[in-house]
Structure formats: structure tokens, C-alpha cells
Amino acid sequence: MTENRGKLFFTLPGLIAIVFAFFISMQFTAPVFSAEIMKTAASNEELIAVFDFESERGLYKDTAIFLANSIRSELAKGGRYRILERDLMDSLLRKHTFFMTSDLTIEYAVEAGRALKAKTAIIGYVNKKNNTYFLRLSRINIATGAVEFIVEDKCSGGKEALAQLSKTAAAKLFGDAKVVFLRPTKPGNKRFTVSTLSIFDTSAKLEWMRDANTAAKTMTWSEANKYIEQLNKNKYAGSGDWRLPEKGEFAAIIEYATHEDVQKNINELYTKIGFKNLMAEYYWSASSSDEMTGLAWVIDLYAGELSTAGKGNSFYVWPVRTPH
């Protein structure tokens, strides 16, 4: 027993030394994660986190991975932006109990982006119909949680076509690619007067909300009208007569885009005019269908088309008013 106690006595200091060394190592290695992020964030204000893209039911996972990696590479070219590498993002996020996922929401991207100390997050969705791939990218402001810009594009073909799609889409995300006009816009066009919260169309005599997604979500037709009622109670932008646009007023939106020879992604045209958060999606109008009262007219700001949809669907809201 004495001999055993002696062995225990002489090994105890060694054990204490090992525990102490481990504790010290943890103290100095644990901050490496935070320091790594801070170093990355401080090196460039435009720190961008490109998350793995989604695909329809995971059917096009390989294509989604290829496009996400291509977007990262395109944005990193020229050194204008600092792009977090995918493996580094995964490692850092796990430290914050986040996990890279292809089932993304805007809320997740914002929370994960804040953990990464990124300024901007990019999320994407890939779909395929027949032989055509469709790509949708969203640029998210981490500080505000708002979707600042959406790019939708498509291509047919193999990896070369997909690589070109990535190049074009990456440029559009940050305004590095201009909306393609078949002819130049007339100089000195003063049709739209931009203010802080609204933009006035001097031709149509309409005042549109500058932020085309103040609700930051979609809603049914009934919910849209109730939402606007609340905006009016709160006197948004100093006015209490906001409303859903009429079908004809949306038609004027399309007409102007057509006049500028922009047939697709007309939300990009209006974003360059000064509007914010214009989604390449459907927006409700106030006009019900003449054939069925359960349907209302909607505008598709991607395709630049008007159609009808059931009022129980969930679409975006872009209020307008007629100044007196």
C-alpha cells in the first residue's frame, strides 16, 4: 500500500502539470476563432459570406455547389471584396453552433452572417426546367436584415454556360453590370423624382413607396390591404392614403420598361432608378378579376407580365398613392 501511495504521490505533480498545460493551451487557442474573424472582417469592409445554394428538392445539388463556388470565385476576382472560403465558413460557424445548410432562410443567413462578422450574405436557389437552369440570388444586408437586391438569370448548356451564368450574375449582384438596353436611355430623363421614402412618377402622376418590400414578407390579398391600412394609420412618409396599385398602374410600369427595351428582370431597371428591395416576384394589385372575384391581378417583376391569381396566395406589396 505504501509503495502504491508513493507512486501516486510522485505522479500527481505530473498530472497537475498536464491539466495546467491543457488549461493554458485552451486559454490561448480559444480566442483564435474570434481573432480570425476579426482579422478577416477588419481587412475589408466588404466581407461577404456566400452560403451554399438550395436546389429543388435537392435534385440539382452538384449544380448548386458548382454555382456557389463559381460565384465565390467571381466575387473574389480583382480584390474588391473579401470572400470567406467555404471550408473556413463551415469551421467558424460550427464554433458558434451553426451548420452550413442548403435549406436556407433569410433569418438564418443574417444570424450566421453576424457570427461571421460579414457585411453581406449571398444566398441562392437553383432550379431546372427541361434543359434550362434557373438561378436566383439574393444579396442580404447583415446589419439591417433586408434583402437589398435580387438577381434572376438562366442558361442552357453544360459547365461552360453555368460558369458564364455565374460571371454575369455575380456582376449584377453589386451593380457591376448594367441593365442591358437595346438602345441607350434618353439623356436628361427626369420622369422619376427620388425622395427618401418615396419616388414620384411625373408622367403617371403617382407616388410610389421607394421601399417595395416594407413588410419584409409576402401576404395574402386581404392581409395586404390590412397592412396598408396600418401604414396609413401610422402616416407612412407623412401620408395616409397609400393603397394597392390598380392593374392599369402596373401596366404603366411594364410599359415604361418596354419603352426602355427591358423585357426581363424589370425590377433591375427600377432599382437603378432608385427603388429599394424590388423583388423579382409577384406583387398584388387592387384590381379583382372581372370573371372571378376570388382572383386579383398581379404583376411579375421578373417576366414583366400581368396575370391573375387567387387572393389566398402570398405575394409582395408595393403601395402607391395619388398626390392631391
Decide if 115 contacts 33 (C-beta within 8 A).
no
Per-residue confidence (pLDDT) for residue 235, from 0 to 100:
92
Query: 101-106 — which CB contacts under 8 Å span 24+ positions?
Result: 101/52, 102/52, 102/53, 102/54, 102/55, 102/58, 102/61, 102/64, 103/54, 104/51, 104/52, 104/54, 106/138, 106/140, 106/145, 106/147
- Does the global pTM surpass 0.75? no
Per-residue confidence (pLDDT) for residue 23, from 0 to 100:
45
3-state secondary structure of 321: strand
Per-residue confidence (pLDDT) for residue 101, from 0 to 100:
52
Per-residue confidence (pLDDT) for residue 29, from 0 to 100:
35
The rounded distance, in Å, linking the Cα atoms of 108 and 145 is: 10
Per-residue confidence (pLDDT) for residue 140, from 0 to 100:
87
Domains of the chain: 46-173 (3.40.50.10610), 192-321 (3.10.100)
Phi and psi of 169, rounded to 5°? -65, -40
Residue with cell 486559454: 27
pLDDT tens for each residue of the chain, 324 residues long = 444 434 444 455 555 555 444 444 444 333 333 444 444 444 445 799 999 898 877 778 899 999 999 999 998 886 788 999 888 888 888 876 665 554 567 888 888 888 888 999 999 889 888 888 888 888 888 888 877 777 878 888 888 889 888 888 888 887 654 443 333 444 445 789 988 899 999 999 999 999 999 998 999 999 999 999 999 999 998 999 999 999 999 999 999 998 888 877 888 889 888 899 888 889 999 999 988 889 999 999 888 889 999 999 999 999 999 987
The rounded distance, in Å, linking the Cα atoms of 153 and 21 is: 55
Per-residue confidence (pLDDT) for residue 241, from 0 to 100:
95
DSSP letter at 102 equals S
Please report, in angstroms and rounded to a whole number, the separation of the first and last CA atoms in the chain.
Answer: 101
